[in-house]
């Protein structure tokens, strides 16, 4: 220990520039590791709060004539696969002359669907709701093939059920043959494959509508999970570029939560930062060792073993690093952190004595391993090789 303290004293007197660089290396490492963890915790709380909010975007239609089925499909097909895969259901309100008198309140014609691989598919989420609530009272819901191909099939309300506004099914029925029934929509005859009790109007495949069919009111986009900022921007950009002023995508205050996933590997990041800091320290300390080759030769001649020499050098490193790291952490906690709290609301509550101990342990262990490797490698060299390296 006597020689360790003597070496440190000599280091402070004769190598001021290297000393400054060593101190700077340790201080910046301590600040960066502590700050990174706090930043992760702050944004993780924001992310959790964001997850309790928006799962739906209602795109307002300002000009129905401009929003046709064909243009709407092109718009939706232009959305990213990530966006479309996250959508549980698209809900639209087509304008069909035969049903115009029904298109008010809850008895408007509605089509619900999803998109998969640029193909219109039935909404399994809506099918589940119908079945869970007992609203699909007979028959089956549309298959993927029926929706994708736009087959002329429909699910209607039972004739004579007046719980809804009037008997729509009776008015649109074209013929009945035994248990089979057909109804007319857009001058096309649809085979009834099931009965529901949700609305007065029928359900039918979106793809069975004419491409020139226009939409009204709004387009409801329902997501399975909270909407991310990239999904919102994807919807907004595509609708505005396709329809211009004919639609309005409402403003939504969505935190950029998806950008914070990088902080979920904070422990790995802490290790990498500590590793880089230790390598920088090792490079600087190796320079100091290269200037001590004469002393090293004397130590060896006096019987100092490699193990004792190793212990002396590694102790010197730890005595330089550990106190400085601890002091920097204390300054960070008492001075820097309160100032950061003004900009990062949840950062201060993220820290604890246990956390600081974990960060300190990561830094110490990584530094010890790197320095041990460097010192051991240095000591394996001959005195002549060390002098040549000087």
Residue 114 shares a structural domain with residue 195: yes
Element (H, E) at 18: helix 16-50
> Where in the sequence is the domain holding 149, given as residue range(s)?
52-255
Per-residue pLDDT in tens (0 to 9) along the chain, 390 residues:
666 666 667 666 667 787 788 888 888 888 888 887 777 766 665 555 444 478 999 999 999 999 999 999 999 999 998 899 999 999 999 998 766 555 555 567 899 999 999 999 999 999 999 999 999 999 999 999 999 999 999 999 888 765 554 578 888 899 999 989 999 999 999 999 999 988 888 999 999 999 999 999 999 999 998 888 888 989 999 999 999 999 999 998 776 544 444 444 566 777 777 888 888 888 877 777 777 777 777 776 777 777 888 888 888 888 888 999 999 999 998 998 888 877 776 677 777 788 788 888 888 998 899 888 888 887 776 445 544 544
DSSP secondary structure code for residue 125 in this structure: H
Residue 162 shares a structural domain with residue 202: yes
Residue 291 shares a structural domain with residue 231: no
Q: Which two tokens stand for residue 265?
A: 């590997």
Residue 236 shares a structural domain with residue 346: no
Domain boundary residue, one of 206, 221, 255: 255
Domain boundary residue, one of 255, 289, 323: 255
Residue 211 shares a structural domain with residue 83: yes
Distances (CA, A) of 327 to 12, 27, 353: 18, 9, 14
pTM: 0.56
Domain boundary residue, one of 255, 276, 292: 255
Listed as own residue / partner, the contacts of 161-170 with beta carbons closer than 8 Å and 24 or more positions apart are: 161/197, 163/197, 164/107, 164/199, 164/200, 165/102, 165/105, 165/107, 165/200, 166/102, 166/200, 167/200, 168/99, 168/102, 168/107, 168/200, 168/201, 168/202, 169/200, 169/202
Residue 35 shares a structural domain with residue 103: no
Torsion, Cα 288 330 342 53, to 10 degrees, reads 90
Residue 207 shares a structural domain with residue 59: yes
Residue 136 DSSP SS3: strand
Domain count, the chain: 2
Residue-level pLDDT at 193: 96
Residue 248 shares a structural domain with residue 267: no
Residue 26 shares a structural domain with residue 80: no
Residue-level pLDDT at 273: 79
Residue 148 shares a structural domain with residue 195: yes
Residue 378 shares a structural domain with residue 235: no
Cα(120)–Cα(208) distance, rounded to whole angstroms? 11
Q: Which two tokens stand for residue 224?
A: 């399975």
Residue-level pLDDT at 341: 74
Cα(192)–Cα(154) distance, rounded to whole angstroms? 5
Yes or no: say if 180 and 156 are a contact pair by the CB < 8 Å rule: no
CA-based radius of gyration for the chain: 36
Residue 156 shares a structural domain with residue 199: yes
């Amino acid at each position: 220990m006597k020689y360790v303290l003597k070496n440190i004293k000599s280091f402070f007197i004769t190598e001021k520039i290297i000393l400054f660089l060593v101190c700077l290396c340790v201080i910046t490492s301590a600040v960066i590791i502590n700050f990174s963890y706090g930043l992760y915790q702050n944004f993780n709380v924001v992310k959790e709060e964001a997850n309790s909010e928006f799962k739906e975007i209602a795109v307002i239609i300002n000009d129905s004539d401009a929003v046709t089925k064909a243009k709407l499909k092109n718009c939706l097909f232009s959305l990213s696969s990530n966006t479309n895969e996250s959508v549980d259901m698209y809900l639209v309100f087509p304008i069909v002359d035969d049903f115009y008198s029904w298109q008010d309140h809850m008895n408007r014609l509605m089509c619900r669907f999803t998109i998969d691989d640029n193909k219109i598919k039935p909404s399994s989420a809506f099918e589940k709701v119908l079945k869970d609530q007992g609203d699909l009272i007979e028959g089956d819901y549309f298959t993927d093939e029926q929706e994708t191909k736009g087959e002329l099939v429909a699910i209607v309300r039972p004739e004579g059920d007046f719980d809804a506004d009037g008997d729509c099914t009776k008015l649109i029925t074209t013929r009945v043959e035994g248990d089979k029934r057909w109804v007319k929509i857009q001058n096309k005859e649809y085979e009834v494959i099931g009965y529901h009790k949700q609305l007065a109007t029928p359900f039918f495949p979106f793809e069975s509508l004419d491409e020139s069919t226009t939409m009204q009111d709004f387009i409801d986009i329902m997501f399975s999970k909270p909407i991310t900022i990239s999904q919102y921007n994807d919807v907004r950009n595509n609708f505005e570029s396709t329809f211009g002023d004919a639609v309005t995508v409402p403003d939504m205050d969505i935190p950029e939560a998806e950008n914070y996933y990088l902080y979920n590997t904070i422990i790995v990041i802490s290790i990498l930062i500590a590793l880089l800091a230790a390598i920088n320290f090792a490079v600087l300390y190796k320079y100091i060792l290269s200037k001590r080759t004469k002393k090293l030769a004397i130590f060896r001649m006096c019987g100092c073993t490699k193990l004792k020499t190793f212990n002396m050098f590694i102790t010197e490193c730890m005595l330089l690093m550990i106190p400085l790291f601890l002091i920097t952490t204390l300054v960070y906690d008492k001075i820097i952190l309160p100032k950061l709290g003004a900009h990062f609301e949840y950062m201060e509550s993220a820290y604890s004595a246990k956390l600081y101990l974990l960060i300190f342990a990561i830094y110490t262990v990584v530094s010890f391993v790197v320095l041990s490797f460097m010192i051991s490698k240095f000591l394996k060299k001959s005195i002549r090789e060390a002098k040549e390296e000087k």
